[in-house]
Structure formats: structure tokens, C-alpha cells
Chains A and B, each alone.
Chain A
Amino acid sequence: MYDQTEFDRDFLKTRAAQFRQQVARRIDGSLTEEEFRPLRLMNGLYLQLHAYMLRVAIPYGTLNSDQLRTLAMIAERWDKGYGHMTTRQNIQYNWPKLADVPDILDALAEVGMHAVQTSGNTIRNVTADPYAGAAADEIADPRPVAELVRQWSTDHPEFQFLPRKFKIAVTGAEADRAILKVHDIGLQLVERDGVIGARVLVGGGLGRTPLLGEELRDYVSMDELLPYIEAVLAAYNIAGRRDNKYKARIKITLREEGMEALKEQVEARFAERRGIYPNAVAELERIEKGFAKPVYKDAPTVAHFNALTDRGYAEWAETNLVSHANPDYAIVRVSLKGRGATPGDITADQMRALADLADEIGHGEIRVGQDQNLILPHVHRGDLPALRAALEGIALAEANTGLVTDITACPGMDYCTLATARSIPVAQGLADRLRPIERELGQVTIKISGCINACGHHHLGHIGILGLDRAGVETYQITLGGDPSADTALGERTGPGFAYDEVVPAIERILRAYLALRKAPSETFLQAVRRLGTGPFKEALYEEQKDAA
């Protein structure tokens, strides 16, 4: 884990103290809402449909057990006993009271956490591969670079009022588990002549105009990385449009200006800024020490192999375990999509129990995935049966990660003030309907957003669902063929949308068609869509309308 410095601690304490004064001044009437709003947003405090919502950053998706216990304490003491994991490695509290938020920020600061820049037109929480430091296919751990970028971007005076929000993600593996191509900047750590540097992608994003990022530079050395991305931000800060918020993201700047022009502007800014961070590499090396690999234990793994004779265990192992760089270890995916669950929600009791398990058998580490699940990144295979039994005791052993019931869903109209329709009950209805055939269906990813902002990443779902308000009626548009993996693809719209009570059967028709159309059970849903095109699936989707015509 990153070792906080005195500077980090002071910064968080000062920010929390400032916000305490701002809240007091809002409550005593010395600040109007217009004056207070930008201040609260700078500290991650939104006003949602039913209450305030505090969005807390989980930088690069990494938590230690003490941090998770603090998140549990906050949920219990100042919220309604749970938190919600988002698709960008944040946790959201849905019910804080305004006067309590300064206390919450103080509690977060105690464990090095904060809500700074989780809103507003700034550089947002830097995300990373949730399997960082554990994945078998990793070239380099992306977290030190992500931490360096976090430090650089936090309170950066030049970038507090960008044309629009700006999202950066980092990976250290070919298999892209951080969805680089839908970020304003995606950094992929690559090796050149034995030296790690970064490939820089730019101009990706979802929302109203979904576009995939493109390569800006194939390699930037570590000593030049901060000046280089600062040059990208500086170029964007000038060229990005401020007249139309729908055209203000760098993805639009890139398409309006063209790659060559953007490159030119970036290179010009880069020439000015080269060498402005002479200590960055030394700081990176200091940060790296905090991310040293845990001391792996040498012990028999036989308990895991013996347990595989149990069907429930074998199913869990099949879906919820991922290869670890150490063959005696596994990465464990902890599903937050159990029966009746709200995708991404976790109770304070579950957080606390998971923190204890992480301490006992997981080297004290927990990760948050972009799929709204949690991860224990380092578990010895010999400990897996005991872990699963313990997870069962806290309703976190659902054997479904990557299956059709592992649905990503934003809060939608149950909480979000921007929503045009609900997401959560659609996810729950689908999970209930499809659970009996989830194993038969294999790997299928459904993603749901409650409005065009696409926080539920619906464009990237193998099946995507977008909730809209059509003349005062909740209506759901379906997309097919999206892919959040390294072959990132945006789904294709099928046609007219479906009403709330029609959408679950509609999705089931698509999936039943897949079962009938696939060449063999080994052909996944996405492979079948790619082989056949969306035609036969659309036919199944709209068959009722056709029959009625």
C-alpha cells in the first residue's frame, strides 16, 4: 500500500477543516446555495433525489483492511448501514446529513482517504486494473504510476476548472481490465528495451457521444510521463470547448481538431514543460516501495483441490477465481450481485467481516472492480475453502462473477437526480429471471444505465440497457455486442425500446435465441453475436411485435 507522507496527511486534514467551515457558513446562512454548491462538489458532495450523496474516491481501486473498516464505520454511524460501489472505483454513501459530512471527511482522512475531485470539471479519481500487483499477465504494477498521477492531479491549480471532467485510467497488462479506451487518457504500461514506459491513449468516453480512445503516443518514458500528460491537459484546457457542455470533453476536441492537430498542440506544450518535475522518478521509486509484493507463504494447496469435488465450491472456483502471478495463489472475486442484491451495494457488517478475512488470509488487501464487485487479490489456494465458507456466512459467496446475473447497474432513478429511468429493479428482475439458466448461458455481461450519462457503462455490455423517459414513460433501449475487454467495442442499438415491464422478457428472448443459435456451448454470447451479426438476435427480440403486426 502507498505510504502516506506528512504532506498527504496535512493536505487531507486541511481540506476537511476548510470544508467544515464552509458547511457551517452554509448552515448559518452566510453562504448561498449558489456559492456553496461548487465548494461541496469539490469535496464530492452531491444533492441527489432523496438526500445528499457523498462520493469517496478509492484511488486505483485499492483498499487496506483498516480503510474498509472505516468505510463500514461511516456507513453505520452516518449513513443507513451500507455503501454503494461505483463503476469508477468510488464508494457512494446515499444518505449523509449535511452537518455530518465534515466528520465523515475527518474519519476518511484518518485512513488517508478523501472525496476530493470526485466531482466537478477536474481530473477525477485515477482508476487502475483491480488485479494490479497480482495478475499473472502483468508487465508492471500500474498503481505506483496511478498514485504519482493522483498526487500530481490533486489540487493542481491549472486544472481545477477544465472545460469538463477528465478521467484517467492505468493498466500494466495487455488484458485491459481498466477499460482504458473509454477514458480521457488511458495509460498502458509497456516495456521497450527492458524499460517500462507508458503508451498513451486519448479521447475515449461514453455518455451521449460514446467514442473509443486512440493512441496519442506509443511510448513515453517514466521521467517524461507527468510533463507529457500535463501537456495533454494544458492543450485540452485551451482547445476544449466551453460553449457547449455536450462538446466539451477531450473526445470531442480530438474529433473536431483531428489527431494531428491535437498532437501538435500537445507536443508544443510538452516542449515548454519537459523537465518541470525533476523529482518525479525519485518519487515514483519511493511510491513503488509501498507496493512491494506481499510475502507469499509456502504451504500445501491440496485443500483447494480436495474441495473441488463439492459442486457448489467447484462452481464458485470456476467463476470467481482468477489466475494469480504466484501459481499457489488466486485472485478471488467477491460478488456484490447476490440474490436480491442491489448491484454494488455492501453492508457495514459485510465490509467489516471482509476486512477481517483480508487480514486473516488475504494479506490485508481489498480491491474494487469496475464491475462493482470486490476482489481479494492475494489468497493462498490452501485457504480458499475456508474463505468461501466464511464468505457464505456473510452472503458474499455468490458464484456468478462474469455470468449473466453479475449485472452492472448505476443507481438510476432510485437515487440519481439526473436519471431518466430506474436501473436497479431492472437488474434485480433480470437476475431473478435468468438465474436458473446462468450457468448454461456462460459468460454474458449485462450493463444498465439510468440515463445517457452511461455511468452503468451500458455501451460496453454484451447486452446494454439504457433507461430513458419517453413522453413520461420509462423506456429501455437495448444495445448488443459491446465489449469492456481489451477488444473494447461499443454496442449497436437494436431498434425501438421497451417499457419497464417488457424489458426483462425482451432480454430473455435474446438470450434464449443465443442458446438456440450457438454452435456449441463453448461459443460465448459475444462470439455468437460477432459471428452472426445482430440480425438473428433482433429478430428474436422483436418477434412479438412482428406477430402482433
Chain B
Amino acid sequence: MSRIFTPKVVTANALLEGDVVYLAEDGAWVRRLDEAELIEDEAIAQLRLIDAQSQPDRVVGPYLAEARASQQGPVPGHFREGFRAAGPSNRNHGKQADLTDV
């Protein structure tokens, strides 16, 4: 019996800043999880991951992360991804500081 594929986003860290980044539908790397492409098909997910892995000059350590659909775009599927998307909870100067500016 094959596993049921659950939706994913492609995520990595940016090479220069180390920032958490996500692959958007148009192939751009974006900082916000809600702008990422939510991939619901396993074969497409693998293709997108291969695409990400072919960009070592831009990102480090790409992988597929669990995510769920919402009205506002993808939301994290696990609390670790929630912290990656939001920045550290003890100081408001990580990603969350930038996100509120947007």
C-alpha cells in the first residue's frame, strides 16, 4: 500500500544570509511561507526539489517540508516549520520583524 502524499513546500536556507526561503510557483525564492508554492502532487514535488538542488549558488540544504493549505496560502505542517517561518520567539528581530513590514 502506497503512502498518501501530504502537501509540501520546498524550503532551504539562502546561501548568503542563511535566511529561510521557499520556492514559489514561478521558480523564485521567497522569504514568506504564504507565498510559497504548495505542492500536492508527489512527482511534482520531487521535480521541484531537484530544481532546488540544482541551485547551490543560491540556497543550502533544500528539502520538502510539510505544509497545509489556508486562505492565506501555505501554513506550517509542524511546529519546527512554524518557527522557521516566523523567526525566534524570544526576540522580535528575526523574520517576524521583516514580515510585519510587508
Contact = CB atoms under 8 A, between A and B. Distances in A.
Do chains A and B stick together as partners?
Answer: yes
A271 interface: no
Interface in A28-44: 29, 32-33
A50 B56 contact: no
A415 B56 contact: no
Contacts of A97: 16-18
A402 interface: no
Contacts of A49: 20, 83-84, 88
A49 B83 CA distance: 8
Most chain-A Cβ atoms within 10 A of its Cβ — which of B13, B87, B88, B89? B88
B86 to A, nearest CB: 9
Contacts of A419: 80
Given A422-B89, A428-B90, A472-B78, A48 B57 contact: no
A474 B56 contact: no
B3 interface: no
Interface string B57-81: 1001100000000000000001110
A415 B87 CA distance: 8
A35 to B, nearest CB: 10
A267 B80 CA distance: 48
A425 B90 CA distance: 7
A47 B83 contact: no
A435 B83 CA distance: 28
B10 to A, nearest CB: 16
B60 A33 contact: yes
B37 to A, nearest CB: 21
A47 B78 contact: no
B56 A48 contact: no
Interface in B3-18: 13, 15-18
A268 interface: no
A437 interface: no
Contact of B60 (A47, A80, A413): A47
A27 interface: yes
A99 B16 CA distance: 7
B79 A50 contact: no
Interface string A63-103: 00000000000000000100000000000001101110000
Contacts of B83: 49, 413-414, 422
Interface string A419-434: 1001011001000000
Interface in A41-64: 47-52
What class of interface size applies to chain A in its complex with B?
Answer: 20 to 34
Most chain-B Cβ atoms within 10 A of its Cβ — which of A27, A415, A469, A474? A415
Given A50-B19, A98-B15, A414 B90 contact: yes
B36 to A, nearest CB: 16
Contact of A33 (B19, B61, B80, B88): B61
A421 B15 CA distance: 25
B18 A51 contact: yes
Contacts of A26: 15
A342 interface: yes
A98 B56 contact: no
B87 to A, nearest CB: 6
Nearest to B20: A50
Contacts of A413: 79-80, 83
A315 B93 CA distance: 34
A52 B15 CA distance: 9
B19 A474 contact: no
Most chain-B Cβ atoms within 10 A of its Cβ — which of A49, A80, A415, A425? A49
Contact of A27 (B16, B79, B89, B91): B16
Given A50-B18, A472-B79, A29 B90 contact: no
B49 to A, nearest CB: 15
Interface of B: 13, 15-20, 56-57, 60-61, 78-80, 83-84, 87-91, 93-95
- Ranked 4 nearest A-B pairs via Cβ: A414-B88, A51-B18, A52-B18, A424-B90
18 contacts: A29-B56, A47-B13, A47-B60, A50-B18, A50-B20, A50-B84, A50-B88, A50-B94, A51-B17, A80-B91, A80-B93, A99-B16, A342-B90, A342-B91, A413-B79, A415-B88, A424-B90, A425-B90
